[in-house]
């Protein structure tokens, strides 16, 4: 039996640590600001940059910049990074049937999920626009955004829970299949369709994001444009196709690319639901296993670099549009 008292006494050091971080942060910057306020003239620019920008840059460089370079170098070394092996990690990765499967699965994730999420998102956003009780329906669809993918995976594990066909089903999906007289299957073991059932978790979690973003964009369409189109006789699906979709094109691209990057890096769902077994492995999970289970750092790094290569076109596109936008 655990009491609140015992929990409190064992967590006290952690609570103390939270408080110390807060006190140190505000204490340091409190003093810095008090001192900085007295400094005038040219010196204040360099001091402000040193205190405002440099800490963030150091953290970003040590956390992302330098490690990325190291991983890149690591990917040309052997399992325990003791010698250089050239492109061997990459060529072995492509030859390995398990990794090839992870590759194919990742590609299907990146192709299927963003399209479904965006299509659902824009349909919902359009339908919900000015509907009664809009906010309530939106909250319900958006809610999974607040739930971790670990929590979401368990929620869907329960939905997919399987019992032998002649037993009472404990998963709702199996029960619905029984009601519809479809043979009940252990969905998470049923390759290759199990990949789709895993994608459902991501789609369930991410559609709310797409809907909210697209909904804001749709509300931003000038009423006059819609009214003019309506005077010309455009209604329903035609209005949607000729006005709504083109007017929110940039936002659609933002949602699509965000979802593509998200699925390319997706890890939690696979790790929690199947652990990459039953032919559901993806690059990101495989990379984790290579690095932290099989301890093959060279190959794990090569997979991380491959994930990065997938992100590069999207980052390039984003930087280009950001540049154009900043010029205006």
Partner 1 sequence: MSDKGHASSRPFTSPIASVVVTVIAILWTVPTFGLVVTSFRKKEDILSTGWWTSFKNPGFTLENFRAILFESGGTVGEQGMIPFAINSLAITIPAVLLSVGLGLMAAYALAWIPFRFSDQVFYGLFALQGVPLQLSLLPLLTFFATGIQLFGHTIFPQLHIVGTLASVWLPHTMFGLPLVIYLLHNFVAALPREVMEAARVDGANHFETFRKIVLPLSVPAIASIAIFQFLWIWNDLLVALVFAGGTDDVAPLTLHLANLGGSLGSHWENVAPAALFSIIIPLIVFFSLQRYFVRGLLAGSVK
Residues from 80 through 139 that contact partner 1 (CB under 8 A): 120, 123-124, 126-131, 137, 139
Please state the closest distance from residue 195 (CB atom) to partner 1, in A. 19
Using CA atoms, how far apart are residues 92 and 298, in angstroms rounded to an integer? 11
Examine residue 2 and tell whether it contacts partner 1 (CB under 8 A): yes
Which x/- pattern, by CB under 8 A, does the window 202-241 give for partner 1? --x--xxx--xx--xx--x--x--xx--x----xxx-xx-
Radius of gyration of the chain (CA): 26
Tokens matching residue 190: 């049923």
**Pattern of binders to partner 1 over 249-288, x per CB under 8 A?**
-xx--xx--x--x--xx-xx--xx--x--------x--xx
DSSP string for 21-74: HHHHHHHHHHHHHHHHTT--STHHHHHHHHHHTHHHHHHHIIIIIHHHHHHHHH
Buried b / exposed e over 100-139, threshold 16 CB at 10 Å, is: ebbbebbebbbebbbebbbebbbebbbebeeeeeeeeebe
Q: How far is the CB of 7 from partner 1 (least distance, A)?
A: 5
Which region, judged by CB under 8 A, interacts with partner 1, from 102-110, 111-119, 146-154, 184-192? 146-154
CB of 317 to partner 1, least distance (A): 10
Q: In the structure encoding, which two tokens stand for residue 232, read together?
A: 């010309």
The H or E element that residue 257 is part of is: helix 249-265
Can you tell me which residue has the tokens 């189109």?
229
Beta carbon nearer to partner 1, 87 or 237: 237
* C-alpha to C-alpha distance for 255 and 211, rounded to whole angstroms: 9
Selected binder of partner 1 within 27, 31, 98, 170 (CB under 8 A)? 170
Question: Which helix (H) or strand (E) segment is 310 a member of?
Answer: helix 297-327
Contact region for partner 1 (CB under 8 A) — 82-90, 110-118, 171-179, 186-194? 171-179
**Which residues 29-58 are close enough to bind partner 1 by CB under 8 A?**
29, 32-33, 36-37, 39-40, 44-45, 48-49, 51-53, 55-57
Least spacing, CB of residue 110 vs partner 1, in Å:
13
* Total chain residues near partner 1 (CB under 8 A): 137
Least CB distance to partner 1 at residue 23 (A): 11
CB of 198 to partner 1, least distance (A): 14
Neighbours of 223 (CB within 10 A): 7
* Residues 296-315 contacting partner 1, CB under 8 A: 297, 300-301, 303-305, 307-308, 311-312, 314-315
We find the least distance from the C-beta atom of residue 38 to partner 1, in angstroms, to be: 9
Neighbours of 36 (CB within 10 A): 15
């Amino acid at each position: 039996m655990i009491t609140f008292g015992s929990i409190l006494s064992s967590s006290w050091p952690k609570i103390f640590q939270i408080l110390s971080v807060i006190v140190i942060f505000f204490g340091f910057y409190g003093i810095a600001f008090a001192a900085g306020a007295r400094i005038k003239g040219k010196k204040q620019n360099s001091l402000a940059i040193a205190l405002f920008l440099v800490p963030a840059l150091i953290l970003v460089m040590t956390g992302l910049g330098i490690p990325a370079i190291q991983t890149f170098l690591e990917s040309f070394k052997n399992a325990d990074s003791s010698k250089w092996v050239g492109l061997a990690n990459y060529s072995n990765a492509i030859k390995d049937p398990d990794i090839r499967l992870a590759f194919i699965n990742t590609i299907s994730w990146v192709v299927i999920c963003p399209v479904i999420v965006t299509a659902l998102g824009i349909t919902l956003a359009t339908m919900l626009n000015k509907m009664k009780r809009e906010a309530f329906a939106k909250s319900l669809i958006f809610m999974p955004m607040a739930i971790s993918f670990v929590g979401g995976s368990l929620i869907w594990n329960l939905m997919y829970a399987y019992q032998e066909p002649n037993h009472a089903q404990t998963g709702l999906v199996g029960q619905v299949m029984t009601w519809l007289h479809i043979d009940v299957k252990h969905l998470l073991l049923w390759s290759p369709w199990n990949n789709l059932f895993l994608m459902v978790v991501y789609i369930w979690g991410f559609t709310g994001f797409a809907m909210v973003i697209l909904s804001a964009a749709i509300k931003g369409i000038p009423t006059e444009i819609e009214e003019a189109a309506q005077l010309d006789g455009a209604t329903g699906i035609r209005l949607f196709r000729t006005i709504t979709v083109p007017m929110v094109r940039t936002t659609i691209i933002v949602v699509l690319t965000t979802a593509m990057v998200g699925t390319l890096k997706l890890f939690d769902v696979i790790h929690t639901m199947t652990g990459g077994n039953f032919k559901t492995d993806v690059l990101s999970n495989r990379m984790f296993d290579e690095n932290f289970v099989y301890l093959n750092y060279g190959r794990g790094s090569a997979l991380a670099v491959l994930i990065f290569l997938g992100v590069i076109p999207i980052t390039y596109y984003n930087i280009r549009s950001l540049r154009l936008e900043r010029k205006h």
